Amino acid sequence: MNDTVAAIATPVGEGGINIIRISGPDATRIASILFQSQGGTQVADLEPQRVTYGNLIDPATGQAVDEVLLIYFRAPHSYTGEDVIEIHGHGGAYVSSKILQLVLDQGARPAEPGEFTRRAFTNGRLDLSQAEAVADVIHAASDKALTSALAQLKGQLSDKLNALYDALLQVLGQLEAAIDFPEEGLEFKQKQQHDKNIQSIHAEIQKLVDSYRQGKIYREGLRVALVGKPNVGKSSLLNALLQEDRAIVTPHPGTTRDTLEERVRINDIHITIVDTAGLRHEAGEIEEHGIERTRHALAQADLALVIFDGSHALDANDALLIREVADKKKLVLLNKSDLPTMIDKNALLKQLGQRTALEISATTGDGMEALKDALYQSALGGRPSGEAVVITRERHRQALAQTQEALTRVSQSLQEDRSEDLIAVDLNSALEHLGGILGKTFVDDLLDQIFNDFCIGK
């Protein structure tokens, strides 16, 4: 952390500009050697957070390498909390690598993936959940993902977790005072009220845990599996949703032998659609492999689009399908609505335990808008579309679940009037898990795992 690091902060390739970012104690010294402002002002004397025009000079030749704009961010008022220099030069692979090499020649070292953000965390500019949100903003593939990531970056999740952390810390402080200073007459009183507070915190954490399904969908998109018997119209439906002929469609059953994944955007949610092989009895060896992959796709999906041929009565293959999706979150579709209806809709819904089914035609497009709206509402999961405070990472969900387990033990101990020492152990455990999300408690291996997923230059 005492090194000065540098990296190209813009994507590789040609473009209008490239940005080289330098952070650390030698950032201004290095910039002073390489940069000549038009007015002759030294870098250390430049007004922070202002753009200065000048030339980037190769000290070995005294020749200008590029006309650049330089911005000086003086510590601690920078992204990393250190002195930061940004050099904005012309875009291009050669000129950007040339400037970076000149910076490295003056004593900086190449930044590792995510090192600028890691320094921001280490220097207290961001907590760990906000640092993770930086990567989520960069990788956001939809408006919903971006809105959620920005809310986390601005500290909405941190504020909620910090309030819960402080409430637990207050209980622990009273408890430890009673343990450490019994001679002063301090007692851990009002156990019933403390238990009520613990249960209230537990309920708030449960809301966050419950938000994970939606948060994961915001971040990664909704994963949907198209399932049904052969020749029911799964591939035709995929093509209709994509509005292009992506899957091969023939009148012969069993055309699809493997899963096919494509992405489509509905409003501000990305949806991954998985076309699967048809489920049927007495399949051949090759089809059986496809069916196993169908079952795997179904297990991995957030939602199953269960497709039935509305122009035919239910058969043994439909019965197999009904069993396969019994405990899966699903939407029921009756395809081929352009043909005479032969299926008993009410009997089907009763077997599936569902209230409604959408009637569509993948061939004519009838019902497709209603289907897209149903997919979008399923992605939201009934949450208000403007609600942004959700958890989006499995690490957060696990830490909150472990916090809940510890708080459950605390509540039981309070109700059974167990020793203060035992209660303190579980309270400390809850605080450790909760603090792990914010970075109040962490191990270096965790930081390595998080920041290695970042791009270089961020």
256 pLDDT band, cuts 50/70/90, is very low
Phi, psi dihedrals of residue 168, rounded to the nearest 5°: -70, -40
**Pairing outcome for strands 303-309 and 109-110:** unpaired
Instruction: Count Cβ atoms below 10 Å from residue 429 Cβ, excluding itself.
Output: 17
Q: What is the pTM of this model?
A: 0.79
Looking at the chain, the whole-number percentage of residues with pLDDT higher than 90 is: 47
What are the tens digits of pLDDT across the range 200-255? Answer: 999 999 999 998 988 888 888 889 999 988 888 888 888 888 876 654 444 544 44
Q: Give the contacts of 78 (CB within 8 A, at least 6 positions apart).
A: 23, 84
| Average pLDDT for 384-403 | 83
Cβ-count burial 171-189 (b if 16+ within 10 Å, e if not)? bbebbbebeeeeeeeeebe
What CATH number matches the domain at 218-380, 3.40.50.300, 3.30.930.10, 3.40.50.150, 3.30.365.10? 3.40.50.300
Mean residue pLDDT of the chain comes to 86
**Res 8: pLDDT:** 95
**Res 215: pLDDT:** 87
CATH of domain 131-211+391-451: 1.20.120.430
Q: Where are the alpha helices (DSSP H) in 301-367?
A: 316-324, 345-352
Residue predicted with more confidence, 130 or 382: 130
**Res 289: pLDDT:** 75
**Res 49: pLDDT:** 93
**Res 83: pLDDT:** 96
Specify the CATH architecture of the domain 5-111. 2-Layer Sandwich (3.30)
**Res 282: pLDDT:** 60
The separation between the first and the last C-alpha atoms of the chain, rounded to the nearest angstrom, is 15
For residue 450, pLDDT over 90 is answered with no
**Res 140: pLDDT:** 85
Residue predicted with more confidence, 59 or 242: 59
Residue predicted with more confidence, 379 or 74: 74
**Spatial distance between the Cα atoms of 218 and 142, rounded to a whole number of angstroms:** 8
- Is residue 298 within 8 A of residue 274, CB to CB? The reply is no
- Is residue 314 within 8 A of residue 348, CB to CB? The reply is yes
What are the tens digits of pLDDT across the range 123-171? Answer: 999 999 999 999 999 888 778 888 889 999 999 999 999 999 999 988 8
Domain positions in the chain are: 5-111, 131-211+391-451, 218-380
